[in-house]
A and B are shown apart, each in its own frame.
Chain A
Amino acid sequence: MNEQSRNFWSGVRAEVPLLIGVFPFGLIYGALALNSGLPPVAAQLMSSIVFAGSSQFIAAQLFHDTAPGFVIVLTIAVVNLRHALYSASLAPYVASLSIRWKALLSYLLTDEAYAPSVIHYEKEGVTTYGHWFFLGAGFALWFTWQVSTAVGVFLGSAIPESWSLDFALPLTFIAMVVPVLKNRAAVAAALSAGVTALLAYSLPYKLGLILAALVGIVVGTLLEGQKEKAGME
Chain B
Amino acid sequence: MNNIWLVMIAGGLITFGIRFSFIYLFGKFHIPETVRKALHYVPPAVLSAIVFPELMLHNGALDLSLENHRLLAGLVAVIVAWFSRNTLVTILVGMVALFVLQWLM
Contacts and interface: CB of A to CB of B under 8 A. Distances in A.
B66 interface: no
A172 B91 contact: yes
B43 A177 contact: yes
A180 B51 CA distance: 14
Interface string A187-209: 10111111111100110000011
Interface of A is mostly: helix
Given A87-B19, A92-B26, A220-B40, A115 B47 contact: yes
Given A17-B87, A194-B49, A167 B19 contact: no
Given A69-B1, A69-B6, A91 B26 contact: yes
A198 B57 contact: yes
Contacts, number: 268
Interface string B12-52: 10111011111111110001001111111111111111111
Interface in A82-133: 82-92, 94-95, 99, 102-103, 105-107, 109, 111, 115, 118-119, 122
Nearest to A107: B16
A173 B81 contact: no
A66 interface: yes
Contacts of B26: 91-92, 94-95
A203 B100 CA distance: 34
Interface residues of B, number: 70
27 contacts: A17-B88, A42-B4, A66-B1, A72-B7, A76-B11, A84-B19, A87-B19, A87-B22, A92-B39, A103-B20, A107-B19, A115-B43, A115-B47, A118-B42, A164-B98, A168-B91, A171-B91, A171-B95, A174-B94, A180-B44, A186-B41, A189-B48, A197-B52, A198-B52, A201-B53, A208-B53, A217-B42
Interface of B: 1-12, 14-16, 18-27, 31, 34-57, 60, 62, 70, 73-74, 77-78, 81-82, 85-88, 90-91, 94-95, 98-99, 102
